[in-house]
Structure 1
Amino acid sequence: MALAYGIQLPVQSQSTLYAEPWEAGAGAVDLAEIARTADRSGFAYIACCDHVAIPRRLAAAMSTVWYDPVATLSFLAGITENVRLLSHVAVVGLRHPLATAKQYATLDHLSGGRVILGVGAGHVREEFDALGSDFEGRGAVLDETVDALRAALGAEEYPEHRGARYEFSGLGQRPRPAQTRVPIWVGGSSVPAVRRAAIRGDGWLPQGDRRTELPAKIARIRELRAEAGIEEPMTIGTIAEPLYVGRPDWEVGRRTLTGKPEELVESLREYGAMGVQQIQVRFRSRSRTELTDQMAAFGAEVGPYLNA
């Protein structure tokens, strides 16, 4: 099975779980060059995370560096041509769905139809409390928000939705998205998230699943969609292990996949055999230049064989 590949942008989120030291001093110039490299190296998408504010109790681990996804992806849309623009993931329950639809419809319109709206339930209580959103009920809020966004991002200038929390009709929004259907990819690996992805999503963005865990969840998604009578194709994704093309002369971590391009191809193709259609990749690097060199090498020497 052919595998598309995309990248969660560095710099725009700097959790200690994955940020490289050089990102702390990076900014717009670096993001621009990374996005351009992705665009010319065959990457299917560039992705940006979503947090409004980080409480002090989590700041040491998460940091407070979280760029706004719509602002960031809009900036990068203007300097790229083909690469798609993914929110991975937008915590859409923090905002009214009409506000979210306005932002992403505009971005899709201006980018020529390149938006993929990745959504997730969120996990930081203080964000929800500060914005007056329902943290305890965030799963149910997300379910309805996805339904409301389907209407608000559809073809109708005056969308309609009536639900338990949101109701709107007779309110026009233009510009409309360039795409007939903006893909909604659902993030998360919990039981409710997998069900939500299966029933409501055009794609699934698992979070942190190891290879051994994916086949059962993919089978569950297929089962749920069959039970619901959903026949439309769905994009199954995953986040691959950290990568380094070649033999590094520095410590890149024991879980990092390294080696010749053909060795990386062989390893990553295992995801395709499981039923995965797109992999999100992240490269170990000590500078922006090393990262863009890695991306270019992957695009030239690995990517073409994943799509063969």
Structure 2
Amino acid sequence: MSALAYGIQLPVQAQSTLFAEAWEAGAGPEDLVAVARAAERAGFGYLACCDHVAVPRRLARAMSTVWYDPVATLAHLAAVTGRIRLLSHVAVVGLRHPLLTAKQYATLDHLSGGRLVLGVGAGHVREEFEALGVDFERRGALLDETVDALRAALGPQEFPEHHGKFYDFEGLGQRPRPAQPAVPLWVGGSSPAAVRRAALKGDGWLPQGDARERLPAQVARLRRLRDEAGAEGPFTVGAIAEPLYVGRPGWDTGPWTLTGAPEEIAGSLRAYPAMGVDQIQVRFRSRSRAELIEQIELFGAEVAPRLQ
């Protein structure tokens, strides 16, 4: 069994009450840089940043309105790191014309030396779509075509071409081109439509909130859909692990947090590749930037080598 890859959703850049720690409210760019550098030193495969343009008042108490722009954030962190990959988890690409999205992310890939992984999703906030003049009810169909358009617009051609129901373009040049010959495109979401979209249009799948017991059936469906369609090429199956704390915390980390010695945590996480998962996204409980970095370092040094 190959090693299980691992990445991290960045703190600070999104502050939903579902996952943000108290210390993040007073944090800023210097904290993001410190965490990104620590993750790279610890062997993490990617840094992830999510996407919301504007949060309506009815959702602001739960979601907060702190959502850093993923392109700006990942570009900033690309300049202070050298190896770690840069993942949008996820970009709501249906909110923007694919040529605009391609311009932004092709530039990011070019500037970072080919480190982009473009994660995309359908979105869920109706007011966000309405404010930008996009039909919320058709977001699934729009995303399907946007993925096709982005395949063309992020490919090697200086003058990409796409002819579809929502978008039609040709003869419009964009440089710089991405540094990668093909930017990996991972599809997020756990609904039947999202899983199908990932299987048939993506290079990987990013589940959203699937508990461990749901993953084997989801992965089996992915594989079946790809086999039936004759899909070829590499495909990365992801999962979001439970909140982690390496060691005995001595404080209340919540009922769902996986804690314990490195071997205990590694032993639990080794269940993921047995389900067909290739990479996990981890999040650590912490009370400060220093504690988070300590957790990242402990995971890289003591847990990761045991993820076989």
Normalised to the residue count of structure 1, the TM-score between the two structures is 0.99
| 3-state SS in 1 of match to 2:271 | helix
* In 2, Cα distance between equivalents of 1:201 and 1:299: 29
Residue 4 of structure 2 corresponds to 3
Structure 1 stretches of 4+ with a deviation exceeding 2 A read none
* In 2, Cα distance between equivalents of 1:299 and 1:167: 46
* Structure 1 residue identity aligned to 2:140: G
| 3-state SS in 1 of match to 2:187 | strand
Residue 229 of structure 2 corresponds to 228
* CA-to-aligned-CA distance 1:230-281 (integer Å, 9 cap, x gap): 1212100000000000011000011100000011110000001000000000
| 3-state SS in 1 of match to 2:117 | strand
Residue 86 of structure 2 corresponds to 85
1:269 aligns with 2:270: yes
Residue 29 of structure 2 corresponds to 28
* CA-to-aligned-CA distance 1:175-201 (integer Å, 9 cap, x gap): 000001100000000000000000000
| 3-state SS in 2 of match to 1:299 | helix
Q: Structure 1: state its 5+ residue gaps.
A: none
Residue 211 of structure 2 corresponds to 210
* In 2, Cα distance between equivalents of 1:266 and 1:278: 15
Kindly state the Cα deviation for residue 20 of structure 1 after the two structures are TM-superposed: 0.4
* In 2, Cα distance between equivalents of 1:209 and 1:230: 24
* In 2, Cα distance between equivalents of 1:182 and 1:59: 33
Map residues 1-308 of structure 1 onto 2, 5 A cutoff. Answer: 1=1, 2-306=3-307, 308=308
Q: Percent identity?
A: 75
Normalised to the residue count of structure 2, the TM-score between the two structures is 0.99
* In 2, Cα distance between equivalents of 1:304 and 1:182: 28
* In 2, Cα distance between equivalents of 1:174 and 1:183: 19
Kindly state the Cα deviation for residue 304 of structure 1 after the two structures are TM-superposed: 1.8
* Structure 2 residue identity aligned to 1:210: A
* CA-to-aligned-CA distance 1:14-53 (integer Å, 9 cap, x gap): 0000000000000000000000001111000000010000
Alignment: residue pair count: 307
* In 2, Cα distance between equivalents of 1:109 and 1:231: 26
* Structure 2 residue identity aligned to 1:42: G
| 3-state SS in 2 of match to 1:136 | helix
* Structure 1 residue identity aligned to 2:42: S
* Structure 2 residue identity aligned to 1:110: L
* CA-to-aligned-CA distance 1:160-183 (integer Å, 9 cap, x gap): 000000011000000000001100
* CA-to-aligned-CA distance 1:56-90 (integer Å, 9 cap, x gap): 00000000000000000000000001110000000
* In 1, Cα distance between equivalents of 2:208 and 2:107: 28
| 3-state SS in 2 of match to 1:254 | coil
| 3-state SS in 1 of match to 2:137 | coil
| 3-state SS in 2 of match to 1:173 | coil
* Structure 2 residue identity aligned to 1:160: E
* In 2, Cα distance between equivalents of 1:205 and 1:234: 11
